[in-house]
Structure 1
């Protein structure tokens, strides 16, 4: 199953957090939001289709995330978890750890925002940049 979320860039995107990646429906971003790679996201955890939420709650699910900006693509692999809450109305966070809160979409991910290619980060620092966050659950 695949689901795509469109988001936009922001001049304060730093993308240097070592444990998480986040996209948010919020339009405002301070430099402290160093895991955020996109704002004005079209969906949050709460907005995901129920079928996708069910698949994400399967501990055997392999979840592949792809962040696409222009011709560039960045892929992250993570895991589903039966305790996922998936109810946050603004944010989506994918984590290297197994910490779960209403914003958590996947755990045990193999990458965080610090590994996003700097060329992609530069593009995302332009508020006119549009990106896509693709969720694929196997």
Structure 2
């Protein structure tokens, strides 16, 4: 199962957060928003197809996120969980921890914002387009 969306970078993308990264439909951020890597997204968790959401709500599901700009790519892997509501109207958050809320797409991620490819972050800081691909596979 695969779902793709696009977002944009922003000059305030710092990518310093150690436990999460986020893509949002918000159009502006300040420097304190150190987990946000993509803004003005054309989709959020509420837009993921229902069959994919059902699959993600299984803790035996592996989720792969591919982040791509014109000059760089990075791949993040994590897991689903039955407590994920996947219904936030503006945000998608991937977490290294096992914390869940309406903004959480996956837990147990192997990377957070601070771990992402520096060329990818440079592209995002210069406002380039971000392609986000969510791939869901059962373990």
CA RMSD of the aligned region, Å? 0.8
Counterpart Cα distance in 2 of 1:97 and 1:42: 26
User: Could you say which residue in structure 2 is the equivalent of 1:7?
Assistant: 7
Confirm whether residue 106 of structure 1 aligns to residue 109 of structure 2: no
Stretches of structure 1 lacking an aligned partner (at least 5 in a row) = none
Contact 2:23 2:91 in 1 (8 A): yes
In structure 2, stretches of 5+ residues that fail to align are: none
Aligned to 1:130: 129
Superposed CA deviations along residues 13-34 of structure 1, whole A, max 9, x for unmatched, are 0011110010000001111110
What TM-score results when the alignment is normalised by the length of structure 2?
0.96
Q: Residue 12 of structure 1: CA displacement?
A: 0.3
Paired residues, number: 137
Q: Give 1:1-138 correspondences, 5 Å limit.
A: 1-127=1-127, 129-138=128-137
SS of the residue 2:101 aligns to: coil
Q: CA deviation at 1:117?
A: 1.7
Q: Secondary structure at the match of 1:29?
A: coil
Structure 1 segments, 4+ long, off by >4 Å, are: none
Q: How does the TM-score come out when normalised to structure 1? A: 0.97
